[in-house]
């Protein structure tokens, strides 16, 4: 591990994406505690990609265009579904009621699924992390797991901060129906844009 790895990883984690959007939306609707749960879910969603890279499944995904496209468009479909559900919400009270109906487990499950259906994470672990493992490393798998753990810790910390910031703005936003309507539309548009970006990018 070196400073370059930490810097690049932080830039990757902090850049806007589906995980950040989900955590911010959760912070606005349910506060910092549940936003932290969502951040945990997004972090757990990294685990399958990490294991796939370690076991070589990511290489198979990279080699098979059909498998990659299938996972990619499943992710696109889920993002568009989130966008639609966000767009059709009506009013602050309905958002609060729908959000409150979700248990912590459902919040985690939703966040995990968002990251699970993002094949770019597998590509990240396959192409990026190995660059920081020495060719003569006696235990490359262990080294990769250690780097992955650091990346996951950074993901959780950054997303939790995003959620906490959103939670601080919660009362102002939820108390303003006009702001809430625009925010709802903005999040819907963000998910559509993220879906389009995923759909039109190649490996």
Structure tokens at 29: 């609707």
**Domain residue spans of the chain:** 18-199
Q: What 3-state DSSP class applies to 84?
A: helix
At 73 the pLDDT is 76
pLDDT tens for each residue of 150-185: 999 999 999 999 999 888 887 676 656 676 667 667
Structure tokens at 12: 């990757």
| Range of weakest confidence among 86-100, 107-121, 146-160 | 86-100
Rg (the chain; Cα; Å): 18
Residues 68-84 have a mean pLDDT of: 69
pLDDT band at 8 (very low <50, low <70, confident <90, very high): confident
Please tell me the pTM assigned to this model: 0.69
């Amino acid at each position: 591990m070196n400073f370059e790895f930490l810097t690049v990883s932080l830039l990757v984690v902090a850049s806007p994406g589906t995980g950040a959007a989900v955590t911010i939306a959760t912070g606005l609707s349910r506060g910092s505690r549940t936003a932290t749960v969502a951040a945990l879910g997004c972090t757990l969603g990294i685990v399958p990609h990490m294991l796939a890279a370690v076991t070589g499944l990511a290489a198979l995904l990279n080699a098979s265009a059909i498998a990659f496209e299938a996972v990619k468009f499943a992710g696109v479909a889920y993002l568009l579904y989130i966008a639609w559900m966000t767009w059709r919400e009506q009013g602050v009270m309905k958002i609060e009621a729908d959000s409150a109906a979700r248990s912590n487990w459902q919040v985690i499950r939703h966040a995990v699924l968002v990251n699970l259906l993002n094949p770019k994470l597998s590509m990240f672990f396959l192409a990026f992390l190995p660059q920081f493992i020495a060719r003569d490393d006696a235990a490359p798998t262990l080294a990769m797991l250690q780097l992955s753990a650091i990346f996951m810790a950074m993901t959780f910390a950054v997303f939790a901060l995003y959620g906490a910031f959103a939670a601080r703005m919660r009362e102002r936003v939820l108390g303003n129906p006009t702001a809430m309507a625009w925010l709802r539309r903005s999040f819907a548009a963000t998910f559509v844009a993220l879906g389009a970006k995923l759909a039109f990018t190649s490996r």
